[in-house]
Amino acid sequence: MIKSEDIKEILDRLEAQYPEAECALHHQNVFQLIVAVALSAQTTDKSVNQVTPALFDAYPDAEALAAAEPAEVEEYIKRIGMYRTKAKNIVGLAKSLVADHGGQVPEDYDALVALPGVGRKTANVVLSVGFGHQRIAVDTHVFRVANRIGLVEAKDVLKTELGLMERIPEERWSRTHHSLIFHGRQCCDARKPQCQACVIAEFCEYLNKTEG
């Protein structure tokens, strides 16, 4: 893996390269955030952003969404993948928020993952972006980039998250999460990584192995 003493330099370079790195899902409050993140599974943020304005106009809060029928919600999100399952999930999510949390999104990990359609990644994004906690949410980009360059050596998402938490200072968790996502989108592509343009190429295990 990448040497511990090089991690600060790597993070500094990534943050300098992507100063605009932040949550790409459009939202105006934590309720909209959790719904948008739940909709983003196996779908691009861009696609989610195209359907959520009309969705949030129709259902501006948990109470409104909880009162909807999934079939009604499907009409707003049918352009994204798995829209039937997601419609059912976000209505169930809203019902749980109303029934158990007064219509508010809880600022608690265990309470979040107990909600329909909310897994570890969604809970971490909500806690980080919505409430300002330091969290690392591992999506496909974070998983790929972190393991490819050698920040961690892990076979699954959970081990990747725990490994990053061990190796990265806690005060940088959230920022690193967004930097790795942007690096995965803009440079470290799954099939054709742009290694010649990479600001951390000299530290990358993937590139070193390829050249070796």
Q: Is 12 an active-site residue?
A: no
SS3 of 96-149: HHHHHHCCCCCCCHHHHHCCCCCCHHHHHHHHHHHCCCCCCCCCHHHHHHHHHH
Q: Residue 62 has which token pair?
A: 């948990």
- Going by C-alpha positions, the residue among 121, 122, 167, 128 that lies closest to residue 143 is 121
Q: Which of the following is catalytic: 12, 121, 156, 159?
A: 121
C-alpha span between 15 and 4 (Å, rounded): 18
| Torsion sign over Cα 120, 125, 131, 133 | positive
Q: Is 121 an active-site residue?
A: yes
Q: Which of the following is catalytic: 45, 86, 95, 139?
A: 139
User: In Å, how far are 4, 74, 173 from 97, measured between CA atoms?
Assistant: 42, 20, 27
**Buried b or exposed e, range 127-166, using 16+ CB within 10 angstroms:** bbbbeeebbbbbbebbbbbbbbbbbbebeebeebbebbee
Residues identified as active-site:
121, 139
